[in-house]
Amino acid sequence: MSRDERVDHATSRSFANALALLTVEPRPCLLDLPPAELPVPSGAGEYRARQLASWLYQRGERDTVAMTDLPTAWRAELAERWRVDPFERAERFPSVDGSVRYLFTLSDSQRTEAVYMPYRGRKTVCVSSMVGCPAGCAFCATGALGFGRNLSRGEIVGQLLAVAWHEGFAPLELRNVVLMGMGEALLNYDAAIGAIRTMVASEALGISPRRVTLSTVGLPSRIRRLASEGLPLVLAVSLHAPDDATRRSIIPTAHAYPVADIVASLRDWQAAGGRRVTIEYTMLDGVNDAHWQARALAALLEGLVVHVNLIPFNPWKGSGFRSSPKERIDAFARVLEGERVRTSVRFSRGRDAGAACGQLALGGSGRADPASARRQRAATAS
């Protein structure tokens, strides 16, 4: 073989090796497993599983080698066979109101988002269950993206751990979780419920299920299935209209699920021991904000234990919608309250960072901060 042939052969082999590396499946993620089923050395028992869960969820450690009270050989095995962080990259988009939109790049280069919302005395994270969303709500920027794929259990829980890491606090400081980001959680049922079970597990994050809110566009059969899970979480239903004609004009899935069927499933949810239902209602100028629609909504919800959140529409480019004026929102609320329906007007946080309700659209911005707040604080301190 001539020198040139040897060079060509070596180059081809190097290229083939590099291509093979690019196409290797990523290591499985520990967060995809239920906490009680974490991999432990043979014969080690539940104690080691609890140790590992404590490192992952309560301390938020992202490097198995740093889990110093685990046996050295086990740490090496975990590092070789498993990964902790399900994300390749995390970008921060801070808002002037203190909330932060997170844009996560997944192992297959798809992206999803979460929103961190600090309040006095509590920390809340809004997580996604999908890349994009198949519901296609006309007023929602996420719906305009279409559906990418479902997130795994670990990719959902991992959003909480990643936010805690980058913001510099322990995961156990998280007090509230809302599954209101990208996607329809009840169409990714097993992963979403699995993630919630990890959130509430005492050996993991130990969040009270009463502080977990799951939002759905309204899928009656899945709502009834959820009622059988024994999870006393908060159910939020994105209703947005009291009548089928209006709802079908703004929510494509409404053609398959009439309003009456959704409300019937909510009655079943509460009969099975489900807690108060939150009704999400985005106020769209000239679409769903008329006086008669307020009266129809009150009549529809009669007999249910509900709280209605009226949400002024958060603008996004190309939506074609405007928010109802404040005077009309207030009048709508007065009609509901006059019918003894508990009502509040919910102003979304993070509008300037694209983090408000209905705005998540995988957008970039000059405000992006790929580095973590944790590292920034450490650098400042030094």
Listing DSSP states for 155-171 in one string gives HHHHHHHHHHHHHTS-G
**Of the listed 126, 133, 140, 357, which one is catalytic?**
357
| Dihedrals phi, psi of 305, to nearest 5 degrees | -90, 100
For 238-284, write each residue's pLDDT tens digit.
999 999 999 999 999 899 999 999 999 999 999 998 789 999 999 99
87-353 matches 3-81 in CATH topology: no
Which CATH architecture is the domain 87-353 placed in? Alpha-Beta Barrel (3.20)
Backbone conformation region of residue 139, classed left if phi is above 0, alpha if psi is from -120 to 50, else beta: alpha
pLDDT score for 24: 58
The active-site residue out of 113, 155, 167, 184 is: 113
Instruction: Give the 3-state secondary structure of residue 282.
Output: strand
- Helices 220-227, 189-200: axis angle to 10 degrees equals 30
d(CA 147, CA 275): 30
Residue 113 annotated among the catalytic residues of the structure? yes
CB contact at 8 A, 129 and 184 = yes
How many whole angstroms separate alpha carbon 148 and alpha carbon 139? 19
Beta carbons within 10 angstroms of residue 382's beta carbon = 5
| Residue bearing tokens 């498993």 | 82
Going 318 to 321 to 327 to 332, the CA torsion angle's sign is: negative
Supply the pLDDT for residue 14: 47
* Burial status of residue 64 (CB atoms within 10 A of its CB: 0-12, 13-18, 19 or more): buried
**What tokens appear for 378 in the block?**
């450490």
Amino acid at 102: Y
- Provide the β-strand partners of residue 274: none
Tokens of 47: 């104690």
CB 121, CB 176: distance < 8 Å:
no
In one-letter notation, the amino acid at residue 82 is W
Selection from 112, 124, 236 nearest residue 169 by Cα: 124
Residue by residue, DSSP assigns 59-79 as S----GGG-TTS-HHHHHHHH
Taking domain 3-81, whether its CATH number is 1.10.150 is answered by yes
Number of helices and strands (H, E) in the chain? 12, 12
The gap from C-alpha 119 to its chain's centroid, in whole angstroms, comes to 18
DSSP tag of 289 = -
Burial of residue 188, with CB atoms counted within 10 A of its CB: 0-12 exposed, 13-18 middle, 19 or more buried: buried
Q: Note the helical H segments in 168-207.
A: 189-200
Torsion, CA 261, CA 266, CA 270, CA 275, rounded to 10: 170
The β-bridge partners of 89 are: 105
pTM over 0.85: yes
Sequential pLDDT tens for the chain (382 residues): 454 444 344 444 444 444 444 445 689 999 999 999 999 988 777 889 999 999 999 999 999 999 999 999 999 999 999 999 999 999 999 999 899 999 999 999 999 999 999 998 899 999 999 999 999 999 888 888 899 999 999 999 999 999 999 999 999 999 999 999 999 999 999 999 999 999 999 999 999 999 999 999 999 999 999 999 999 999 999 999 999 999 999 999 899 999 999 999 999 999 998 789 999 999 999 999 999 999 999 999 999 999 999 999 988 888 899 999 999 999 999 999 999 999 999 877 766 677 667 767 767 753 444 444 444 444 444 4
Q: Is 302 a catalytic residue?
A: no
Kindly list the domain boundaries of the chain, sorted by start residue. Answer: 3-81, 87-353
Amino acid at 120: R
185 vs 79: CA distance, rounded Å: 31
pLDDT of residue 371: 41
- Residues 263 and 218: beta-carbon distance below 8 Å: no
Residue whose pair of structure tokens reads 């997130």 in the numeric block: 151
